[in-house]
Structure 1
Amino acid sequence: MPTPPDFPDPQRAWAYRPSEALEGAPGGPLAGLTFSVKDLFGVPGWPLTASTRAPVPEVGESVLVRRLLELGASAVGKTHLHEVALGITGLNGYGSTTHPHDPARVPGGSSGGAAVSVALGQADFALGTDTGGSIRVPAAWCGVAGYKPTKGHPDWSTQGVLPLSWTCDHAGPLARDLGTIARVHGALNRGQIRGQDWNGVRVGLWLPDGWTDATVRAATLASATDLEGRGAVVTQVHLPEMLDAYSPIVLSEAAQVHAEALQLADPGFQPFTLSALRQGAALSAEDVQHAFDRRADYAWLLNGLLTAFDVILAPAVPTPPPLIGQDEVEVGEGTVPLRRAVLRLTAPFSLLGVPTVSLPTSTADVGVQLVGRHGEDDRLLGLGLAWGAGA
């Protein structure tokens, strides 16, 4: 078996690096590629901590990791995440992960270590998870690409992955470029992703007034202009903030996942994580049902938009990466809590399970999202491939 590359880890991106990589099957379509594994996936012989000091449930073997190994890719280790995936900065019980190029800033989360591992060229692609933006946010802030598939996509199994919210969880990849992601996706579904012509594509531009700073707004508008230059028809659209549905669902389900640890006097979670899990445990059945009712209303709205438009273009983050410890950001409407500012842009598309890619822009550490219809993952990836450097 090949030995994983010996590289320093000042960003604390790596949770576990074995003495020998798990070698992929020779001759497979992914032979020669290496990948990192977010420390929520079960890998036989490798520890699973979910980047927490608290005990976590057993999950068994990840179907997705096993499949990638069968296709020829080699797994080089596990990456850190925001503790138990409940956050968007990279904070965890092991010192927390920092940005790949600026140690004073966060990489995003929860798949922060995954994004760092590909941004620094330590792996060709990374396995992450996305419950409310956990692939797309670190991809945007670290200048790489990320893909959240349609919920329940058969080629991106969450079996053998420690859940955060079974309603909203997705497994997906990050890489330095969308071409690598398309290659991995094509190998999994025994197909090939081909670039799609943008001429005549109906694009809904979702850029809520005041939700981003000037830098992100300009980068998103520049992306829209670029798509118009490729023949797309861009029209502004509107969607509401959906956190009133998202947060109760995710927190209540996360509390159920970690119910045993929450019975301990001192389970070992970071204070914010413990507070959030206890908040979820305190929600009533009526609170949660109301959230699901709101989710159904929002699904109706989004499905209507994706009938009128082929894709939605939106910012992936509200600002460039914030400083470590920063709890608020300045956007057009004023000072907003960081969590709300980020999740209101990304959570709708995991809450409602539609495929989404995050692509870098010409502005450093700022990304945009392309959102497609349920099940149209191949078309979405093909449009992203054709856009290429124009994004």
Structure 2
Amino acid sequence: MSLLQEPIGSLHKRLQGKEITATDLVEASLARIQETEGKLGAFLKIDDEGARARANKLDEQGEVGPLVALPIGIKDNISTQDVLTTAGSKILGDYTPVYDATVMDKLYYAGANMVGKLNMDEFGMGSSNENSGFFPVRNPWDLSRVPGGSSGGAAASVAAGQVRFALGSDTGGSIRQPAAFCGVVGLKPTYGRVSRYGLIAFASSLDQIGPLTPTVEDAAHVLEAIAGYDHRDSTSAEVDNVKYTSALTGDVKGLKVAVPREFLGEGVEVGVKEKVKQALKVLNDLGAEVEEVSLPHAEYAVATYYLLSPAEASSNLARYDGVRFGTRVDGENLIDMYCRTRSAGFGAEVKRRIMLGTYALSSGYYDAYYLKAQQVRTLIRQDFEKIFADYDVVIGPTSPTTAFKIGEKTSDPLTMYLNDICTIPVSLAGLPAISVPCGLADGLPVGLQIVGKPFDEAGVLKVAHAYEQHGERLSAPVIGGDAS
């Protein structure tokens, strides 16, 4: 077992006993990155100089907490002061923020040590990480396959043992789906639980920052560090903070589990369905009551999402015009400069979604498309409310398939969009959800999605931890012949 794979409690004790140092941990991380990065492409920027400086400072301070000295990776749409932050886009290829996102302030306060910025689909738009403006990320389990998206770099880096944990962002499934594809834990908190201040926006009513980790316990520790009200974020919720690690009791006896039949229907691979059913049996054997239910409006979720999120994106991305920051391509006049800059700076998927969103918001179409989608979003949220009146959690697959081949779906955007069919309804309702590995299908990881009531991350983590302790565990992936 490598140093970064040790249980978090063990690392904590060894740091306290001065058996290891922050410098030991960061050097282990940087060595692993050097060993594997050429095969994976998980990082856009490695801040080795900054990471070593922070490690030296942590060693001098001698303070020890659950996250102290742990090497971490940060998705490249989260602002990091004086460290390149591109959102995976060439239009921000030279952008260096002058401030840290709130989550970075919180992680540094907890003692975590960032080693670099992680690759992603451009502006978070994608389900495979093939839409990065620079180069795609590869799945550690099979280098010919995608890691999922848009937090594919984060999921791949954690799975490969390059970092202890990573922060990603989830708009329609962008933490949970890559976590499922790469065999790690991915947690999307309730919308508003974690500050979005410093997160480069894709769709502001959906975006949420969360952790990707090796274990559920690690996810609980990270959430304790980053959650909380932030006056700088107008969508931040004033709710009580919770000690999430206290919820990891392993006891789910009497818990009521709802399984939407729509999540195990047509389009779900046989191997995925089998592993999810086996996971449900584990929970049933632990004393949980498992029953089938219906989410009647789930079938409209993908269409709803791909009206609302592009509409918000078209508004949010209007600021990238070559005037204030980022790339500029000079033109004959101001309008020509706008056109040249945006044509050169944005990739095909971003342009596609800007066009979709602009159309949905245009005069004569707003009521027919955008307003109607908002109404359906309300119906989807109400479906979950009805279920949660009688059940504690909702469970199903995170993704209907395992990781697909690189290039397999790039020519068919609609097929690619359907890959998030299990995660999008949860995002539209703003609910907390976690993906935990539940075995392999044809040698590739399968993710189990556990969805909770608003701001009941503790309940979600409790169920996930109970399953993790008694369900099927994954060994580390092998990357190009080297055990990770």
TM over 0.5: yes
How many Å separate the matches in 2 of 1:264 and 1:13? 31
Q: CA deviation at 1:273?
A: 2.3
- Judge conservation of contact 2:176–2:186 (CA < 8 Å) in 1: yes
- Pairwise CA RMSD of aligned residues? 2.2
Aligned sequence identity (%) = 29
- Judge conservation of contact 1:55–1:267 (CA < 8 Å) in 2: no
Q: Deviations over 1:31-61 (max 9, x none)?
A: 1322110001111110111111124897942
Q: Does 1:20 pair with 2:50? A: yes
Match of 2:255 in 1: 201
How many Å separate the matches in 1 of 2:170 and 2:309? 12
- Judge conservation of contact 1:28–1:70 (CA < 8 Å) in 2: no
Match of 2:110 in 1: 71
**Which stretches of structure 1, 4 residues or longer, exceed 3 Å deviation after superposition?**
1-4, 22-26, 55-60, 186-190, 260-263, 335-338
- Judge conservation of contact 1:149–1:377 (CA < 8 Å) in 2: yes
Q: Deviations over 1:193-238 (max 9, x none)?
A: 3325211111111233113010111111111111111111111122
Q: CA deviation at 1:328?
A: 8.3
Deviates more, 1:24-33 or 1:167-176: 24-33
Match of 2:288 in 1: 232
Deviates more, 1:135-144 or 1:282-291: 282-291
Quick check: which has more Rg, 1 or 2? 2
Q: Cα gap change, 1:338/1:178 in structure 2, threshold over 3 Å: closer, same or farther?
A: farther
How many Å separate the matches in 1 of 2:272 and 2:242? 37
What is the aligned counterpart of 1:346 among 414, 423, 429?
Answer: 423
What is the aligned counterpart of 2:157 among 114, 117, 130?
Answer: 117
Match of 1:301 in 2: 383
Match of 1:62 in 2: 101
Counterpart residue identity of residue 376, structure 2? R
- Judge conservation of contact 1:59–1:160 (CA < 8 Å) in 2: no
Q: Which runs of 5+ in 1 are unaligned?
A: 330-334
How many Å separate the matches in 2 of 1:50 and 1:237? 38
Q: CA deviation at 1:307?
A: 1.2
Q: Cα gap change, 1:376/1:28 in structure 2, threshold over 3 Å: closer, same or farther?
A: same
Deviates more, 1:20-29 or 1:229-238: 20-29
Q: Does 1:36 pair with 2:81? A: no
How many Å separate the matches in 2 of 1:110 and 1:28? 30
Q: Does 1:386 pair with 2:466? A: yes
- Judge conservation of contact 2:120–2:153 (CA < 8 Å) in 1: yes
How many Å separate the matches in 1 of 2:108 and 2:65? 9
What is the aligned counterpart of 2:407 among 322, 325, 334?
Answer: 325
- Judge conservation of contact 1:252–1:281 (CA < 8 Å) in 2: yes
Q: How does 1:93-112 map to 2 (within 5 A)?
A: 93-112=133-152
TM-score (norm 1): 0.92
Q: How does 1:139-178 map to 2 (within 5 A)?
A: 139-153=179-193, 156-178=194-216
How many Å separate the matches in 1 of 2:399 and 2:470? 18
**Matched length:** 384
Q: How does 1:227-376 map to 2 (within 5 A)?
A: 227-239=283-295, 240-241=298-299, 242-261=301-320, 263-265=338-340, 266-284=343-361, 285-286=366-367, 287-327=369-409, 337-363=414-440, 364-376=444-456
Q: CA deviation at 1:345?
A: 0.8
TM-score (norm 2): 0.75
